Structure 1
């Protein structure tokens, strides 16, 4: 049920294969999901993610293909935050803001790996210790991310972290999906179980308000094609060149039932479907608006909107927005979140 291969280069980067009914490849570089292969409605198995052929392509890409992103996924305004009255300046790599952990985020680091198989489960646990001061963040952060594949065609991702000093944490996975294997993702049908989103300024930083999606192009409360409204004359879409926004799942955590259904995606051409569940308060829906020219499998290049991301996470700029769910982590506490990606065919 489980095998692993090794690419030899300095340093050694391993590619693990998790196999149950589906097949998934994960790299120890950045915890990258390099490949997910699932059947369509006729049983034909093929690739449903975007990715690269080589480590060199992943390293030169700016798209975060399939990677674990952190210490803080999404943006922090001007890379500035305050904790316990002390100001910290983070690296600014998405002018004028901090994005996805900085110039050398978790996606660029080599993770330690342990793999197990038990009771029809394939599990890969990855570990990384982020030093105090890395990219400007306070505290030594010890991170564990566990990928689990089962016979129900579910990929689970569990995030855990502890710190020795008060810090902020926001982890997600940045896989791009295309369930048809087509040139773009616009024909996919999407439903988001979210009636609100956080509008942003021209640099993708939230104003702080939480607004309704109803009667706007941001409304995916009922299933609709991703491309139906993407070209509308709507300031939020024009600023981001498409969808690249945080939808609100909750503002107060449900302790009894933390795992919420977030989204359902249907691909009419292939018949593949994807359901996303998460414990996190938000989901960043991104339509690959800046993918043009990024390295693709087979030596080619991806085009604009070649795939979409559903990055389950906390809200952008939460450290500077006390009205948003907190991302602060203190010594003695454990950051713990989970996402599930459930594949099927119709």
Structure 2
């Protein structure tokens, strides 16, 4: 097991951008920037014995800052915070105080506002080379940032195991009641040729999904997946029942005990033989098949187009801060926010 620090030569907000590579004895490795804790590479051995990168991204860090990329920004591989997905009308109330956020997705707030955790340089506070390589990043979001209340300190640890598990462990504390819902936004493609993910086989362990309005904001209603295109309780090709013009951009309520670490999702790609299993303590998983993806000059000069990847975003229910029936996304000063999500790679043959 090893950890390597690689300076990028880039300074943002007076902070140096550094890449961290975690490598296990199999040669699998993950490369993470301290800017937005972006997972730039996740390289594993496929069934043919070839080393294969399973996440979308860029060859150069500077490309993550390119105005053309940011104009149709897909949040490649980054942490999402303070609040994942949408907050309806960009507004929520804690106690007697109402907070109005930036409305950066129509009338709603998306992924933490205009400049979220994904575009901040995080401190590297701990590095370990054994027995499993890991790195811990920390970011302090000050009171009033993006108009969220409270000084919030977030620690995010990435650990790569000998079993090709990438473990993400989150902790957060605040000095004032605030809304928090963190996730990570990696775009996966398990095919050696990348391309459309419609033939990837997908399973999600959820009997219900969340109704959304026309702006993809959750309404509070649960809908059974049985008899619908959203039924992934048994493994099937992603494109088997989908609307080809929409794909999937839906939150699934997992069949699990709240807070327990359990299997949420399993994705299989036949040519590579790779299996991505996602375990989480979170109550929901959001499946996004990248309808709006339109990125030029990705890794190896490849363009990334609609449906060229899938995301499994583990989190609390979107817009839960406005829906009392959902598990709370309010963090109080005496509480500790915790979350664990594991991306485990294995072979299907």
Q: Do both proteins adopt the same fold according to a TM-score greater than 0.5, normalized to the shorter chain?
A: yes
Deviation at 1:117, TM superposition (A): 2.9
Alignment partner, residue 206 of structure 2: 194
Alignment partner, residue 282 of structure 1: 284
* RMSD, matched Cα: 1.4
In the alignment, structure 1 residue 14 sits paired with structure 2 residue 18: yes
Match for residue 30 of structure 2 among 20, 24, 33:
24
Q: Deviations over 1:64-113 (max 9, x none)?
A: 11101100011001100000121100111111110111100000000001
Alignment partner, residue 55 of structure 1: 61
Distance 1:300 1:270 in 2: 19
Distance 1:260 1:10 in 2: 39
Please identify runs of 4+ aligned residues in structure 1 that moved more than 6 A.
none
Match for residue 222 of structure 1 among 221, 231, 234:
234
Q: Secondary structure at the match of 2:7?
A: strand
In the alignment, structure 1 residue 247 sits paired with structure 2 residue 252: yes
Distance 1:323 1:252 in 2: 16
Q: Secondary structure at the match of 2:321?
A: helix
Alignment partner, residue 267 of structure 1: 269
Cα 1:89–1:252, aligned 2, differ >3 Å: closer, same or farther? farther
Alpha carbons 1:120, 1:151 under 8 Å: kept:
no
Cα 1:264–1:43, aligned 2, differ >3 Å: closer, same or farther? same
Alpha carbons 2:210, 2:251 under 8 Å: kept:
yes
Distance 1:324 1:275 in 2: 26
Alignment partner, residue 235 of structure 1: none
Q: Secondary structure at the match of 1:195?
A: strand
Q: Secondary structure at the match of 1:92?
A: coil
Distance 1:295 1:124 in 2: 29
Alignment partner, residue 176 of structure 1: 187
**Unaligned 5+ runs, structure 1:** 233-237
Q: Secondary structure at the match of 2:42?
A: strand
Distance 2:147 2:125 in 1: 29
Distance 2:110 2:238 in 1: 25
Distance 1:92 1:251 in 2: 33
Deviation at 1:231, TM superposition (A): 2.0
Alpha carbons 2:85, 2:318 under 8 Å: kept:
yes
Q: Secondary structure at the match of 1:25?
A: strand
In the alignment, structure 1 residue 101 sits paired with structure 2 residue 112: yes
Alpha carbons 2:3, 2:129 under 8 Å: kept:
no
Deviation at 1:243, TM superposition (A): 0.5
Distance 2:297 2:94 in 1: 39
Cα 1:251–1:79, aligned 2, differ >3 Å: closer, same or farther? farther
Distance 2:328 2:55 in 1: 31
